[in-house]
Structure 1
Amino acid sequence: MSPETVLSNARIVLSDEILRGSVLIRDGMIADLQAGAVQPGTAAAGEDLDGDYLMPGLVELHTDHLESHVQPRPGTHWDPVPAVLAHDAQVSGAGVTTVFDAVRIGSMTGREDDGTALAREIAEAIGYAAAAKLTRAEHFIHVRCEVAAPSTVAEFESLSEVAEIRLASLMDHTPGQRQYADVEAFRTYMVGKGKLTNEAFLPYVDELKKVAEVHSVPNRAEIARLASESGIALAAHDDATIEHVEESAGFGVLISEFPTTRVAAQAARERGQLIVMGAPNIMRGGSQSGNVAATELLETGLLDILSSDYVPASPLQAVFLLDAEGALPLREGAKLVAANPARAVGLDDRGVIEAGRRADLVRVHAHDLPAYPNRPHGHRVPVVRGVWREGARVS
């Protein structure tokens, strides 16, 4: 007889309702759902969830967090496999069962270390940890390609044999457009991070613009071609105008990451692109760069996916906040962090709780905090109490 597990007395977050009942897991898959209590002795093993929510495991498409484990401070370096495991423990503890770890390639000025070595080191560590069955979540790689950099195409080609690469994004952080249309916001970031002095800032910006004029357009087209040939899903990062979206759509882009304006988001929707915004944008109440707020896109039906960006716990926190504030029911919020991102990258075996899907699940207790200045109506905080990947308890 195949091993079975029953997770009973849960509030099961389905696509169209929240069902009080039980989930039967068999051979790593969801075998059945049942309303009400499960009779004792039905399964070989089981767990009473005591009324907690049972949600589909989160699918995270864009997290920069692994790099902060590999390089926890400027000039420091952590052993890559332990770094992957520390990152893995943090994302799985936030309810993530599938994660696309972002690695960056491309240096626009040559002042920074070549990104290829770090990207390859991270990729090899992910591959090793997965092969050794050390990770809680399933890990893929999201290559973030700085198209304005001279060496980006060569760096992308050098990673072509890495099987875990399933997503690539086309990004251009040249100040004066896209994410940093407000050059002063770029100054705040660079000077605030200690990367530049105020006196060195404008010459640095001039240098970036000169490099971008040469490389941005041809690199964007070539990386899109290479990704298409390799079957790698393609995203556009920080589109700001209709022209940006038309260009990305011409390259076959189906994911619009962090559009900076409502105009760009609307254009992305009209071209069938799924729109990703950062969950920290929801939690903070707006963009740190002064771009369009995620809540504005949500209110106008222009938001499909939430990613953690730089705070691993933020997607789950955001959907519970939206539910508590009456902005979005939890069943719809779950689609932003599980069903829709899974669909965006062709992972049709997960992201929803229904028979025949992978048993990637997260148990969440909703804890109500009292009101405080930033949350005058109180705050509902998700507490992860259990995570299952393919039916096995991992956290």
Structure 2
Amino acid sequence: MKQTLLTHARVVFPTEVVEDIAVLIEDGRIASIDPDRTEKTEIIDLDGRILIPGMIDLHCDALEKEIEPRPNVHFPLDFSCAQADKRNAVAGITTVFHALSFANHELGVRNNAFAAKIARAIRSFRLQALIDNRVHARYEVTDETAPPILRELIEQGDAHLISFMDHSPGQGQFRDVETYRNYLSHTYKTNEDTIEGILTRKLKAAQGAMDRMRYLAEIAQLHGVPIASHDDDSPEKIATVQAFGAVISEFPINIETARAARKNGLATLFGAPNILRGKSQSGNMRALDAVINGVADCLCGDYSPAALLPSIMRLPSLTDITLSQAVAMVTVNPARAIGLSDRGEIAIGKRADLVAVKMYGSLPHVEKVWKDGKLVISATYNHV
């Protein structure tokens, strides 16, 4: 029976931070908090490092960029999965939901066949991974061809979260046609004729979107796959997605919608890069304003998983929330939102997914990461 004792840690619990405490790891679980005595135990002195639960990222697009760093330039999928795995581990993320877009009207990796291929590559890679790699299937509801593919992925256990997104211009993230046209042009570096074709097909395919959402929601619920909604823009939209069984509202674009989501029992999720940058890339509500107004439950890496840790460490100085509350936004809150009851907090019986953090000035560095009690990352930084 392997035991590891982490001593002299500054431990972040869900409701408080306790100085100079020990955590005992046994067979991949947290066996004890500040035990009186141990035998045959490896002792690791954390010397005042902050100890937090492994972070849980419910929405991370970064794998898409690992695969396609430039338009139409693709790396092998196993190589890309391995690089993303290491990047997440070094960032202190021990559970990641790779957000893959099923949007056949778009280009690059965001078409159905390629996205499904990536999802299956993630499944193949999981056994050799440093952390827990999962799939967040983002369904563009104006795509009439994706539901059979998504159903197969859900039934085969290759999709662990599904979200409904609607990038049609005139609502949600893209409030007018020109905003969406600029997004396509910037993202895919394509010509006007191609963009106009995408717009025309998308608007036509919007017919029947509600029926497709209902169909996929029923399949997801049957197989225990949580449902999220993306870029909600009104309380009415919240009521609609709640009726489909959604438990998470991703990136609600205004405070009124975020309040409606929480009132109706949906957890709200915002992007950590938004915290670091101080603004939304699409001009919608700032994540920081959501935190200040008490309507933010979770943060995600979005397009930059490395932004999670510095964002939560910065929040107590920018708002009136505590370090425990900030850490909860990337640990216990997402775990509860998605029903992962075995992780997300430092408590007896929980998985020993842990991260030791050293502060250098205002910048946090991940020094050690344990996944299921196994040390997967160890880095020593020069003193600054």
TM-score by length of 1: 0.89
Give % identity: 36
Shift of 1:91: 0.5
Contact 2:64 2:109 in 1 (8 A): no
State how 1:103-182 maps to structure 2 within 5 Å: 103-108=100-105, 115-131=111-127, 134-182=128-176
How many Å separate the matches in 2 of 1:169 and 1:114? 14
Offset from partner CA, 1:277-315 (integer Å, 9 cap, x none)? 111111111211111111221122111000000001111
Please tell me whether residue 101 in structure 1 is matched to residue 83 in structure 2.
no
- Aligned residue type for 2:8: N
Contact 1:319 1:330 in 2 (8 A): yes
Find the counterpart in structure 1 of residue 347 from structure 2.
354
Find the counterpart in structure 1 of residue 286 from structure 2.
293
How many Å separate the matches in 1 of 2:200 and 2:159? 33
* Structure 1 residues 153 and 295: alpha-carbon distance in aligned structure 2, compared to 1, 3 A threshold: same
Offset from partner CA, 1:74-131 (integer Å, 9 cap, x none)? 112211112111100000110011111111213137x767823222322222222223
- Aligned residue type for 1:219: R
Find the counterpart in structure 2 of residue 373 from structure 1.
none
How many Å separate the matches in 2 of 1:285 and 1:165? 32
* Structure 1 residues 204 and 389: alpha-carbon distance in aligned structure 2, compared to 1, 3 A threshold: closer
Q: CA RMSD in A?
A: 2.1
* Structure 1 residues 252 and 146: alpha-carbon distance in aligned structure 2, compared to 1, 3 A threshold: same
Find the counterpart in structure 1 of residue 183 from structure 2.
189
Please tell me whether residue 22 in structure 1 is matched to residue 22 in structure 2.
yes
Shift of 1:31: 1.1
Match of 1:75 among 72, 76, 79: 72
Aligned pair count reads 376
How many Å separate the matches in 2 of 1:4 and 1:246? 48
- Aligned residue type for 1:140: R
How many Å separate the matches in 2 of 1:363 and 1:343? 22
Offset from partner CA, 1:144-163 (integer Å, 9 cap, x none)? 00111121212212323432
- Aligned residue type for 1:30: I
Moved more, 169-178 or 317-326: 317-326
Contact 2:120 2:158 in 1 (8 A): no
Find the counterpart in structure 2 of residue 12 from structure 1.
11
Match of 1:257 among 235, 242, 250: 250
* Structure 1 residues 59 and 178: alpha-carbon distance in aligned structure 2, compared to 1, 3 A threshold: same
Offset from partner CA, 1:312-361 (integer Å, 9 cap, x none)? 11111110111233543211111100001111111111100011111100
Contact 1:104 1:145 in 2 (8 A): yes
Please tell me whether residue 329 in structure 1 is matched to residue 322 in structure 2.
yes
Shift of 1:207: 4.3
* Structure 1 residues 157 and 231: alpha-carbon distance in aligned structure 2, compared to 1, 3 A threshold: same
- Aligned residue type for 1:225: E
How many Å separate the matches in 2 of 1:270 and 1:215? 29
Where do 5+ consecutive residues of structure 1 fail to align?
369-379
* Structure 1 residues 160 and 357: alpha-carbon distance in aligned structure 2, compared to 1, 3 A threshold: closer
* Structure 1 residues 299 and 54: alpha-carbon distance in aligned structure 2, compared to 1, 3 A threshold: same
Find the counterpart in structure 1 of residue 373 from structure 2.
391
How many Å separate the matches in 2 of 1:107 and 1:203? 12
- Aligned residue type for 2:135: I
TM-score by length of 2: 0.92
Contact 2:105 2:198 in 1 (8 A): no
Contact 1:123 1:164 in 2 (8 A): yes
